[in-house]
């Protein structure tokens, strides 16, 4: 069970989004639906960092979307959870609180009482979003229904999330990335143009 959770939770999304035209104060926007504000992202990043200070996992146990940037890693996960929720809505998948509790309880029984919290943190998800992350796992597992192997499950979920993400008009603030591709925020473009020869 834990192996399947790890496989499905680690899926990347194949979606490209422009890094411009985000509304002021937004870290990411999704068409006409509620944005992820910079204040929300900042709070999530600080929360994750506090959690990491209390439980400093070795680097090899972290599965951050961008090991070079905590804000981009956290924002990438927040976006991924939004995409999974939309994929569930589009396909009529209903996830109850009891199902989320069941998943979290099963992980705790198999890996230890604090395993789910550490697992969540290792993916760049702050503690206050742990249930949303668990919902994402349940949704992604439901999206993999009928797949004959882990590889087939990966591809099936990947395709479903990719299809959904393309409809969401995801735009990323250039402060956090030049775009959102393959489930990762690409590093901002910071290289300045060269001066032309002879320019003052």
Whole-number pLDDT of residue 91: 96
Q: How confident is the model at residue 66 (pLDDT cuts 50, 70, 90)?
A: confident
CA dihedral 100, 101, 102, 108 (to 10 degrees): 110
Domain spans of the chain, in order of start: 2-186
Q: What is the mean pLDDT of residues 7-35?
A: 62
Classify domain 2-186 at the CATH class level.
Answer: mainly alpha
Q: Render pLDDT for 77-113 as a digit per residue (tens, 0 to 9).
A: 999 999 999 999 999 999 999 999 999 988 888 887 7
| Contact status, residue 140 vs residue 7, Cβ threshold 8 Å | no
Which tops the pLDDT comparison, 184 or 100?
A: 100
Closest CA to 54 of 139, 114, 4, 132: 114
Q: How would you list the strands of the sheet with 170-172, edge to edge?
A: 33-37, 26-30, 170-172
What is the SS3 string spanning 82-128?
HHHHHHHHHHCCCCCHHHHHHHHHHHHHHHCCCHHHHHHHHCCCCHH
Cα angle: 7, vertex 139, 179; to 5 degrees = 75
């Amino acid at each position: 069970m834990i192996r399947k959770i790890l496989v499905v939770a680690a899926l990347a999304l194949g979606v490209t989004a422009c890094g411009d035209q985000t509304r002021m104060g937004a870290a990411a926007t999704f068409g006409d639906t509620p944005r992820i504000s910079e204040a929300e992202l900042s709070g999530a990043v600080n929360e994750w960092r506090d959690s990491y200070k209390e439980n400093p996992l070795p680097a090899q146990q972290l599965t951050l979307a961008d090991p070079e940037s905590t804000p981009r890693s956290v924002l990438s996960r927040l976006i991924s959870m939004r995409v999974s929720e939309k994929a569930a809505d589009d396909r009529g998948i209903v996830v109850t609180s009891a199902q989320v509790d069941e998943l979290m309880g099963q992980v705790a029984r198999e890996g230890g009482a604090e395993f789910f919290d550490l697992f969540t943190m290792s993916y760049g998800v702050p503690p206050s979003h742990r249930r949303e992350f668990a919902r994402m796992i349940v949704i992604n597992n439901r999206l993999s229904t009928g797949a004959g192997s882990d590889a087939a499950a990966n591809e099936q979920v990947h395709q479903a999330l990719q299809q959904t993400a393309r409809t969401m008009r995801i735009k990323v603030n250039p402060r956090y990335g030049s775009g959102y591709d393959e489930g990762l925020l690409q590093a901002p473009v910071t290289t300045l143009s060269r001066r032309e020869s002879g320019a003052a």
